[in-house]
Amino acid sequence: MTCTIVVGGFFGDEGKGKIVSYLAVKDKIAVAARGGVGPNAGHSVVWKGKKYKMRMLPSTFLCDKSRLLLGPGVLVDPTVLLTEVEETKTALRVGLDPQCAIIEPQHIERDRGSNHLKSRIGTTGTGCGPCNEDRIKRIGKVARDIPQLEKFLTDVPFEVNKAISEGKQVLLEGTQGTFLSVFHGSYPYVTSKDVTASSIAADVGVGPKLIDDILVVFKAYVSRVGGGELKGELSNEESDKRGWSEIATVTGRRRRAAPFNFELAKRAVMLNSATQLAVTKVDVVFPECKGITDRNRLSDEAISFIKRIEQETGVPVTLLGTGPSVEEIIDLRS
């Protein structure tokens, strides 16, 4: 029984939603809590032919025993949250910390109306930056101020720490990616807070001693949406040709693409003190691996790519994504 943190190793959109949803089913996660920024994230979960875009709730929702919590560090947009609870029919399992800061329409207007944020940084326009700004100024609202959220309120740090002490399977789900961190990313082209594993633990209220595993998720190539440098960036034509072009979950923008960056991967492993790695979209770079679940069917090219990641980072790769669906995965843990 363990407490695991899952974080992104590049610029977000590495496929954390897919990895977390697999772990929910396979490891029967009893309690999951989201850390990270807030509804700027969009974790895709493809399950039983339906695609869910999880912006607020943990991606473990498909395991019907999993408690779905949002740590006090997370920003909550009540409209997005209530829609998601309705869509996933999870009202009885959702818990929100009373101190989650609230995104109001004025935060969204400020985000979208600012040339600096919208045009220069290329934010998601979901109000997260201005809401964090108000939280730091200590003038913003928090969840306990909103009557519609009252029935979900709970002491999230207490629940999570209790579950850990009872030996339950606990997962803390991060958002965005290491190099979008306001401390460790390519400032100023970053999000409005730190998003490395230490901050995810702090967002939920778990001390570092209680974390057993830190799973950093990489994609088999690098993608980035919004401003900021992307080393080795491909032209749109080249990225279309390779099948690496993607459309962002929350904003519908085109994600820029570049080959896997071993230097960034090594740094992400250091910044998060990774104990395990997942690599998604192996099927996109190595199409012969599409949909396989048996490690013995991996091509030689895919095996040497994975081996190189392990050699360069010194950390084992334990999960390989071979398609968008929850079950399209190779689990190398046993």
Residues belonging to the active site = 13, 43
Output 157 or 321, the one with its CB closest to ligand IMP: 321
Structure tokens at 103: 């995104």
Among residues 4, 59, 66, 126, which is the contact residue for ligand IMP, using CB under 6 A? 126
Contact assessment for residue 192 and residue 125, using Cβ atoms and an 8 Å cutoff:
no
Contacts of 165 (CB under 8 A, 6+ apart): none
Strand partners, 90: none
Instruction: Work out the end-to-end distance of the chain between its first and last CA atoms, rounded to an integer number of angstroms.
Output: 15
User: How many Cβ atoms from other residues are within 10 Å of residue 13's Cβ?
Assistant: 27
Backbone angles phi, psi at 75, to 5 degrees: -85, 135
* 226 binds ligand GTP, rule: CB under 6 A: no
Strand partners, 179: none
Instruction: Tell me which DSSP letter residue 155 carries.
Output: -
* 42 binds ligand GTP, rule: CB under 6 A: yes
* 126 binds ligand GTP, rule: CB under 6 A: no
Convert residues 282-311 into a mask of x (bound to ligand GTP by CB under 6 A) and - (unbound): -xx---------------------------
Convert residues 11-40 into a mask of x (bound to ligand GTP by CB under 6 A) and - (unbound): -xxxxxxx----------------------
Output 4 or 191, the one with its CB closest to ligand IMP: 191
Among residues 41, 215, 222, 265, which is the contact residue for ligand IMP, using CB under 6 A? 41
Q: How far apart are CA 243 and CA 141, in angstroms?
A: 43
Structure tokens at 4: 């695991």
Among residues 7, 19, 24, 37, which is the contact residue for ligand IMP, using CB under 6 A? 37
Q: Helix (H) and strand (E) counts for the chain? A: 10, 16
Among residues 90, 123, 249, 272, which is the contact residue for Mg ion, using CB under 5 A? 249
Q: Interface with ligand GTP by CB under 6 A: which residues?
A: 8, 12-18, 41-44, 46, 175-177, 249, 280-281, 283-284, 321-324
Q: Interface with ligand IMP by CB under 6 A: which residues?
A: 12-13, 37, 40-42, 121-124, 126, 128-129, 175-176, 180, 189, 191-192, 225-227
